[in-house]
């Protein structure tokens, strides 16, 4: 939250009873002396109304001062807010707390802040930094969506040094900017002396003042008030107080200047990925991100602010691409942050070859027991999805090559529209296209089959078969992903015949293959194509059958236990694995297992980069030998780094919890009942994690598929994709970008929060996290439909 002429600071305390209200009053009075309009807000207050902190402000505000004070929620019990809330008829969730603060500022404060009359505001919290909010969540977490600049009130009592530093680190680890620290002087404990030096090392100003006079008995309240008036008159007019106000003002102006200048500076400094810089014409084409939390970015306001000087300089945008498919648990997830901090504190980084540390071992064993259960025996660490695929290809090609005495050139079997990364080997595993064909060293090495794809077209779920230009209707999402139930159909025979004939022709022409590579269920960067799972299952079966029949592998190959028996199958689950599609693994849908699989992106919940490639024992055995040259000579400086492994272990726990949550259970029930006929198999009473579903609602998907501009729509888990009708298809089209422009704040007409998105030519897509609130998804559905109401 940021305004051009309104400075807002939140007052946090290192503990209760450290003087938050006294310092709030001092800051308010000192600001008023500078001829500013001053606002004070206490969002949550407990205790008797006559003792409320806004009353204290009013009591000691001179008539000439322009200070407005307000308490948003007053609860009578003089206890912690979470306990007082139990006795209150009003339920205040964290969302309601933030909405209340935001509405008050927009309705009552920001309209009164102009270039002719600057304003400032102080928002005082309750208790300490980590005291509970009314909802029971920690206060620093509850207020985090606002991420207001902070003034921390330090503790001057015995033990206050520890509690103050702990409070600062709690704020810092959550992304708060502490602009200043204030505290009372205690001449015996002298905490202010130690803390002043400690904070100075962190370039944080500390102001220490004499404490107020001791409170007198109630019968002497008049004298007591006079003492406090004199105290405030002095402390608010000192040079220290004036310097502090000037510092806070300067911090505010600097923040605005940085925000405004970042796009211009970025334009001159960055070489952006996947961007034609000739089309980035001005700084307005670049979005400045101030912070991110849960599902939203806080960014610079996309609309001009010179028309209304009270317009906020920051706005929120839903992260519609899940930050290039990495997000699954929300930005700034405190559990992931804590895991990273612990590992960094315990290890930093340590070399990995022939070493072992707990986070890496725990992660490897977990992945082998879950994603790799029943087939994988080894885990290889690398940096990201593309390098994980490089490793996978090296593994597969070596395991196959040792079966050939002549070591022929080996290609891959894959699907048209595939994408496995931007490193050279990963590019060569995909057919030529916009991502790789202009790269000088690109040399496509494979045979790529045209996969049938699925999507709703005008309310009907259709399977489109490209090689014979036919379509089949499927009654429901559940039926589409019920591979066993679709066996022995004409479509299965069509698939098997096409795959067998295509591979046979290639082999007859002299092509040799070293691996079969697939992106299970969805081809991501190739256009968010939802491949018919029956086709992928049959593909793997045909590959393995043809291997056993000596068509895909040489007849005279070794038959020992450690050698591969069939062409290695690689599952590229960088995008589709670990819960993105609503179930732990695509193997549970396909009913077949890979020999090698790659995991990244959601592996760490979107916080840090990491990839793991799992392999079967037969693949591992291909690299055993008497010389080091026979080993897998591939590695990275940060292989299996402890921070990434620790974050991944926490991420997998949270992803597992999310897939078992009531949100996903409701989605499975809803989609399990959608589109079924009485003759079809009935949904399970207790949906399992393997039941296909989506967090996007069936009614919305149906409605979107019937829009005249839409060719087809498909959804699974957190992913929604839609293809627009366009004369120019593929990645070079701008149809989806134009259609969705209103979501970014360009093109006008759509109320509510904005959405940041990426497109793939004439294909648009939106991805939620596994923890996105249902009402946020419903709002996005409504806004998306608005884009196509014209």
Q: What are phi and psi of 258, to 5 degrees?
A: -65, -45
Instruction: Classify the C-alpha dihedral 205-210-216-221 as positive or negative.
Output: negative
Q: Which tens digit of pLDDT belongs to each residue from 466-492? A: 999 999 999 999 999 999 999 999 999
> Is the per-residue pLDDT at 776 higher than 70?
yes
> Is the per-residue pLDDT at 217 higher than 90?
no
- Examine residue 486 and state whether it is found in any structural domain, yes or no: no
State the residue range of the domain holding 99. 6-256
The number of angstroms, rounded, from the C-alpha of 718 to the middle of its chain's C-alpha atoms is 12
Question: Which of 517, 572, 554 has its CA nearest to residue 539?
Answer: 517
- Output the pLDDT for position 676: 55
Specify the pairing of strand 569-572 against strand 178-184: unpaired
- Whether 122 contacts 39, CB under 8 Å: yes
Specify the pairing of strand 150-153 against strand 205-209: unpaired
* Average pLDDT for 53-78: 88
Position with higher pLDDT, 265 vs 92:
265
CA–CA separation, 240 and 238 (whole Å) = 5
- Output the pLDDT for position 303: 56
- Examine residue 228 and state whether it is found in any structural domain, yes or no: yes
Give the DSSP H/E element, type plus range, for residue 162.
Answer: helix 160-173
Position with higher pLDDT, 194 vs 789:
194
pLDDT, averaged across the chain:
92
Sheet of 178-184, strand order: 67-75, 37-46, 119-124, 6-13, 150-153, 178-184, 205-209
Question: Which of 103, 107, 116 has its CA nearest to residue 43?
Answer: 103
- Examine residue 287 and state whether it is found in any structural domain, yes or no: no
Cα dihedral: 374, 379, 384, 385 (round 10)? -30
Instruction: Classify the C-alpha dihedral 215-219-221-227 as positive or negative.
Output: negative
- CB-side exposure of 488: number of CA atoms within 13 Å? 2
> Is the per-residue pLDDT at 546 higher than 90?
yes
Instruction: Tokens for 498, please give them.
Output: 């096409």
CA–CA separation, 78 and 96 (whole Å) = 22
Poorest-confidence range of 310-314, 656-660, 714-718? 310-314
Q: Which tens digit of pLDDT belongs to each residue from 620-632? A: 999 999 999 999 9
**The whole model's pTM is what?**
0.93
Q: Which tens digit of pLDDT belongs to each residue from 99-108? A: 999 999 999 9
- Whether 339 contacts 647, CB under 8 Å: yes
Residue 287 burial (10 A CB sphere; 0-12, 13-18, 19+): middle
- Examine residue 66 and state whether it is found in any structural domain, yes or no: yes
- What is the SS3 assignment for 180? strand
> Is the per-residue pLDDT at 302 higher than 70?
no
Q: Which tens digit of pLDDT belongs to each residue from 110-157? A: 888 877 778 999 999 999 999 999 999 999 999 999 999 999 999 999
Give the DSSP H/E element, type plus range, for residue 312.
Answer: none
Cα dihedral: 125, 129, 132, 137 (round 10)? 110
CA–CA separation, 497 and 789 (whole Å) = 43
Residue 308's pLDDT band (cuts 50, 70, 90): low
CB contact set of 652 (below 8 Å; sequence gap of 6+): 363, 366, 370, 578, 603
Residue pointed to by tokens 């015996």 = 188
CB contact set of 194 (below 8 Å; sequence gap of 6+): 161
Q: Which tens digit of pLDDT belongs to each residue from 342-357? A: 999 999 999 999 999 9
Residue 673's pLDDT band (cuts 50, 70, 90): confident
Question: Which of 437, 379, 456 has its CA nearest to residue 698?
Answer: 456
Instruction: Tokens for 352, please give them.
Output: 């990995």
Q: Which tens digit of pLDDT belongs to each residue from 334-390? A: 999 999 999 999 999 999 999 999 999 999 999 999 999 999 999 999 999 999 999
Position with higher pLDDT, 684 vs 607:
607
What CATH code is carried by the domain that includes residue 166?
Answer: 3.40.50.300
CA–CA separation, 579 and 370 (whole Å) = 12
- Examine residue 392 and state whether it is found in any structural domain, yes or no: no
Secondary structure of 490-549 as H, E, C letters = HHHHHHHHHHHHHHHHHHHCCCCEEEEEECCCEECCCCCEEECHHHHHHHHHHHHHHHHC
- Whether 146 contacts 102, CB under 8 Å: yes
Question: Which of 42, 49, 43 has its CA nearest to residue 21?
Answer: 42
> Is the per-residue pLDDT at 680 higher than 60?
no
Position with higher pLDDT, 684 vs 258:
258
Counting the structural domains of the chain, the total is 1
Q: Give the C-alpha distances (Å, rounded to integers) separating 464 from 490, 535, 702.
A: 14, 12, 18
Give the DSSP H/E element, type plus range, for residue 272.
Answer: none
- Output the pLDDT for position 766: 97
- Output the pLDDT for position 209: 97
The number of angstroms, rounded, from the C-alpha of 303 to the middle of its chain's C-alpha atoms is 25
DSSP state of 117: B
Instruction: Name the percent of the chain lying above pLDDT 90.
Output: 79
> Is the per-residue pLDDT at 743 higher than 80?
yes
- Examine residue 237 and state whether it is found in any structural domain, yes or no: yes
> Is the per-residue pLDDT at 556 higher than 90?
no
Poorest-confidence range of 120-129, 419-428, 556-565, 708-717? 556-565
Residue 405's pLDDT band (cuts 50, 70, 90): confident
Instruction: Tokens for 756, please give them.
Output: 């940041």
Cα radius of gyration (the chain): 31
- Whether 713 contacts 788, CB under 8 Å: no
> Is the per-residue pLDDT at 682 higher than 50?
no
């Amino acid at each position: 939250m940021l305004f051009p002429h309104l400075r807002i600071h939140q007052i946090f305390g290192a503990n209760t009873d450290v003087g938050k209200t006294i310092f709030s009053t001092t800051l308010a009075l000192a600001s008023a002396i500078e001829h500013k309009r001053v606002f004070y807000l206490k969002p949550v207050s407990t205790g008797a109304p006559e003792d409320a902190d806004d009353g204290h402000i009013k009591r000691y505000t001179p008539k000439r001062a322009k200070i407005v004070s307000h308490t948003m929620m007053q609860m009578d019990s003089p206890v912690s807010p979470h306990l007082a809330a139990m006795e209150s008829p009003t339920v205040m969730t964290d969302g309601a707390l933030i909405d209340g603060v935001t509405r008050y500022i927009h309705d009552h404060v920001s309209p009164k802040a102009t270039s002719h009359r600057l304003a400032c505001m102080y928002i005082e919290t309750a208790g300490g930094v980590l005291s509970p909010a009314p909802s029971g969540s920690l206060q620093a977490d509850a207020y985090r969506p606002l991420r207001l600049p902070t003034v921390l009130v330090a503790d001057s009592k015995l033990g206050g040094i520890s509690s103050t530093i702990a409070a600062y680190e709690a704020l810092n680890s959550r992304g708060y900017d502490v602009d200043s620290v204030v505290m009372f002087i205690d001449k015996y404990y002298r905490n202010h002396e130690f803390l002043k030096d400690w904070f100075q090392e962190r370039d944080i100003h500390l102001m220490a003042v004499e404490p107020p006079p001791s409170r007198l008995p109630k019968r002497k309240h008049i004298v007591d008030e006079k003492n406090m008036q004199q105290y405030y008159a002095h402390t608010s007019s000192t040079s220290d107080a004036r310097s502090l106000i000037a510092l806070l003002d300067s911090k505010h102006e600097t923040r605005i200047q940085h925000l405004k200048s970042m796009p211009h500076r970025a334009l001159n400094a960055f070489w952006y990925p996947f961007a034609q810089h000739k089309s980035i014409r001005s700084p307005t084409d670049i979005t400045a991100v101030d912070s991110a939390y849960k599902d939203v970015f806080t960014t610079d306001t996309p609309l001009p602010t010179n028309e209304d000087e009270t317009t906020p300089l920051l706005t929120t945008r839903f992260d519609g691409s899940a930050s290039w498919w990495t997000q699954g648990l929300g930005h700034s997830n405190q559990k992931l942050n804590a895991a990273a901090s612990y590992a960094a504190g315990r290890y930093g980084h340590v070399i990995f070859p022939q070493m072992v540390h707990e986070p890496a071992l725990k992660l490897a064993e977990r992945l082998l027991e879950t994603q790799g259960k029943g087939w994988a025996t080894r885990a290889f660490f690398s940096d990201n999805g593309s390098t994980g695929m490089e490793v996978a290809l090296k593994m597969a090609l070596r395991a196959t090559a040792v079966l050939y005495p002549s070591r022929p050139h080996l290609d891959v079997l894959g699907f048209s529209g595939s994408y496995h990364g931007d490193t050279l080997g990963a590019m060569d595993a995909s057919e030529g296209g916009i991502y790789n064909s202009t790269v000088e060293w690109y040399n496509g090495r494979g045979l790529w089959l045209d996969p049938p794809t699925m999507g709703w077209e005008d309310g009907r779920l259709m399977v489109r078969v490209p090689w014979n230009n036919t379509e089949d209707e499927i009654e429901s999402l559940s039926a589409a992903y019920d591979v066993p139930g679709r066996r022995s159909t004409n479509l299965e025979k069509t698939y098997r015949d096409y795959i067998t004939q295509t591979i046979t022709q290639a082999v007859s022409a002299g092509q040799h293959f070293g691996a079969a590579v697939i992106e299970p269920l969805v081809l991501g960067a190739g256009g968010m194509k939802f491949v018919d799972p029956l086709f992928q299952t049959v593909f793997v079966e045909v590959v393995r059958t043809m291997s056993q029949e000596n068509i895909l592998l040489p007849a005279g190959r070794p038959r020992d236990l450690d050698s591969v028996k069939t062409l290695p199958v690689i599952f590229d689950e960088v995008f589709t694995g670990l819960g993105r599609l609503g179930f732990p693994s695509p193997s549970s849908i396909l009913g077949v297992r890979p020999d090698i699989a790659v995991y990244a992106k959601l592996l760490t919940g979107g916080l840090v980069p990491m990839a793991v490639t799992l392999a079967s024992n037969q693949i591992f055995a291909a690299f055993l030998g008497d010389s080091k040259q026979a080993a897998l000579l591939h590695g990275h400086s940060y292989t299996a780094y402890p921070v990434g492994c620790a974050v991944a272990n926490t991420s997998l726990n949270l992803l597992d919890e999310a897939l078992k949550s009531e949100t996903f259970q409701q989605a499975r029930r809803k989609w399990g009942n959608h589109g079924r006929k009485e003759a079809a198999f009935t949904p399970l009473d207790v949906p399992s994690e393997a039941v296909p579903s989506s967090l996007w609602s069936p009614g919305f998907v149906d409605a979107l598929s019937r829009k005249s501009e839409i060719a087809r729509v498909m959804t699974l888990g957190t992913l929604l994709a839609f293809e627009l009708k366009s004369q120019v298809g593929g990645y070079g089209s701008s149809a989806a970008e134009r259609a969705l422009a209103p979501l970014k704040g360009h093109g006008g007409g759509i109320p509510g929060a904005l959405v940041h998105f990426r497109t793939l030519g004439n294909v648009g897509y939106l991805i939620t996290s596994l923890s996105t609130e249902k009402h946020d998804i419903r709002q996005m559905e409504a806004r998306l439909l608005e884009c196509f109401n014209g």
